[in-house]
Amino acid sequence: MTITVFLGSLVGLMTLGMPIAFALILTGVVLMYYLNFFDPQLVAQNMLAGADVYPLMAVPCFILAGELMNAGGISRRIIDLAVSMVGHIKGGLGYVAIAATLLLGAFSGSALADTAAVATLLIPMMRDHGYPVPRSAGLIAAGGVIAPIVPPSMPFIIFGVTTNTSITGLFVAGIVPALLRACGLVAVWSLLARNMDVKLQPKSSWAERRKALADAVWALILPVIIVGGLRGGLFTPTEAAAAAAVYALIVSLFVYREVSVRQLTSLFVAAARTTSSVMFLCAAAFVASYMVTLADLPAQVTDFLGPLIGYPRLLVGAVMVLLLAIGTVMDLTPTILVMGPVLMPIMLKAGVDPTYFGVMFILVGTLGLIHPPVCTVLNVVCGVAKISLESATRGVWPFLLVETTLVFLFVVFPSFITLPMAWFH
C-alpha cells in the first residue's frame, strides 16, 4: 500500500503539471500524513540536508566550466579540429558531430550544454552540405547523451551523492561505455551515410590540421587534467570541478581571449540559474528520499523482486527495462533522485557491484533524454534545427536502437564496465 501511495502521489502531481521539485516535496508530505507523523520542521531540515552535501559543490563548478567553454571558443575549436581531420570523407560532418560530443562531454558532463553547442555550430553546416536535417539532428542528439557518462559527469555526481557510491569510481567506469557508445554511433552513421548525396568538405592540408590542433590544444588539455588528476590522487571529483572551472576561465580570458571581463557577470548569472534549479531539485528529492527510507520502500520493492535476487544479471536486466519505461515519462535527474535510493539496496543484496549498477543506471537514464515524450536533449536539437519533434524522432531511432542494444550487451558482459575500475584501483 505504501508503494501505491508514493507512486500515486508522485505520478498524479506530475500529471497535473506540477514541477518535479514541488511534486517530490508534496509526495514526501503525503507519505508523512500516511505514516501519521507530519512535521513541517522535518521538511525544512531535509531540504537543507539535501543541498548541504560537499560533493554537490562540483555541480556549480562544472556548469560554470560549460558556460565558459561555450562562450570562450573552446567548443568551436574542438569542432574545427574534428572538421580538419575527418570533414572531407563521405559523411564526414556526422563523424565530426560524434567526435565533438565525445570530447565536449569531457569538459562539462552536461548533455544539454554539449548538445546545444554542437547543434548550433554543426546543423547549419550540415544543412548547407545537403545532409538530411532530421537524421543529422538525431545523430547530434544521440551523441549528446554520451556526455553524462564521460568524466566529469553531473549525473554520476548526483547518483554518487544520492546512493553513497564512489564518484571517482563512477567516473573511471564510465570511460569505456562512452567510447563504445561513440563507436556504435560511428558504425550506424557509416551505414546511413553511404546513401546520402552530400557535398564533401575540402580536404585540409597537413598545415591546416596542425594549425587546428595548435588552436585546440589548450582545450584538449582539460580532460587530461581531470582524468589524470583523479587517477593520480591529486584531487577529488569536487576539487576537479573547481580546477576545470578555473582552467576554463583562464583559457577563455587570457589564451583565446574570446570572453571579456564584462561578459563574466552574465556567464556567472547563467550558471547560477542552472545550478539553482539542479540544487533545488536535489533538496526537494531529499524530502521524498527520507520518507522512502522511513517507510521502508526498498524492502517492499525487494520483496517484489525477490525471485530475481539469486540471479544478478537477470535482476539487472529487469531493472534496466523498468528504468527504460520510467525514462519515457521522467527526466534523468529526478529518476536518479527518486529511484536510486530505492533500487541500490536491492542491488547490494543481490551482490551487484554498486559502481557497475551506477553506470548502468545512467546509461539507461540517458536514453530517456532522446526518447519521446520527455526527450529534453532531442527537444533542444529540434529548437536549433527548427524541425518538428516527430521528424527528429524518425531521425534518431537508428541511433537510439544501437545505444539500447549496448546497454543490454553490458548486462550480459559486465566486464566492459568492471575492468576499468580494476585499472583505477
Cell of 13: 502531481
Instruction: Compute the residue count for the chain.
Output: 425
* Better pLDDT: 171 or 420: 171
pLDDT at 380 over 80: yes
Q: What is the mean pLDDT of residues 221-243?
A: 76
- pLDDT score at 404: 93
- What percent of the chain shows pLDDT beyond 70? 95
What residues make up the domain containing 84?
2-424
pLDDT at 424 over 60: no
pLDDT at 398 over 90: yes
Query: What does 80-131 look like in DSSP terms, one character per residue?
Result: HHHHHHHTTSTTHHHHHHHHHHHHHHHHH--HHHHHHHHHHHHHHHHHHTT-
Q: Which amino acid is residue 334, in one-letter code?
A: P
Angle at 78 between CA 215 and CA 202, to 5 degrees: 85
Cell of 199: 557535398
pLDDT at 4 over 80: no
pLDDT at 20 over 60: yes
Residues 6+ apart with CB under 8 A from 158: 56, 59, 278, 282, 333, 336, 337
Largest CA distance in the chain: 73
- pLDDT score at 271: 84
* Better pLDDT: 157 or 328: 157
- pLDDT score at 403: 94
Please check whether residue 176 is in contact with residue 417, taking contact to mean a CB–CB distance below 8 angstroms. yes
**Distances from the Cα of 270 to the Cα of 37, 114, 240, 395, angstroms:** 40, 15, 21, 31
SS3 label, residue 253: helix
Predicted confidence band at 302 (pLDDT cuts at 50, 70, 90)? low
Cis previous bond, 152, omega within 30: yes
Q: What is the mean pLDDT of residues 3-26?
A: 79
* Better pLDDT: 355 or 383: 355
Predicted confidence band at 10 (pLDDT cuts at 50, 70, 90)? confident
Alpha carbon 26 to its chain's center: 27
Most confident option among 13-27, 124-138, 261-275, 396-410: 396-410
pLDDT at 400 over 90: yes
Q: Which amino acid is residue 396, in one-letter code?
A: V
Cell of 399: 541511433
Q: What is the mean pLDDT of residues 327-333?
A: 78
- pLDDT score at 67: 80
Q: What is the mean pLDDT of residues 130-157?
A: 88
- Tally of domains in the chain: 1
Angle at 310 between CA 309 and CA 314, to 5 degrees: 75
d(CA 386, CA 383): 5
- pLDDT score at 179: 92
Cell of 126: 550540415
Q: What is the mean pLDDT of residues 259-279?
A: 85
Q: What is the mean pLDDT of residues 224-250?
A: 78
pLDDT digits (tens, 9 = 90+) for 25-52: 888 888 888 878 777 888 888 888 877 7
Predicted confidence band at 263 (pLDDT cuts at 50, 70, 90)? confident
pLDDT digits (tens, 9 = 90+) for 71-124: 887 878 888 888 888 777 888 888 988 988 888 777 766 777 778 878 888 888
- pLDDT score at 406: 94
Q: What is the mean pLDDT of residues 10-19?
A: 78
- pLDDT score at 423: 63
The residue assigned the cell 512535521 is 39
Residues 6+ apart with CB under 8 A from 29: 38, 43, 287
- pLDDT score at 353: 92
pLDDT digits (tens, 9 = 90+) for 176-205: 999 999 999 999 999 998 888 777 777 888
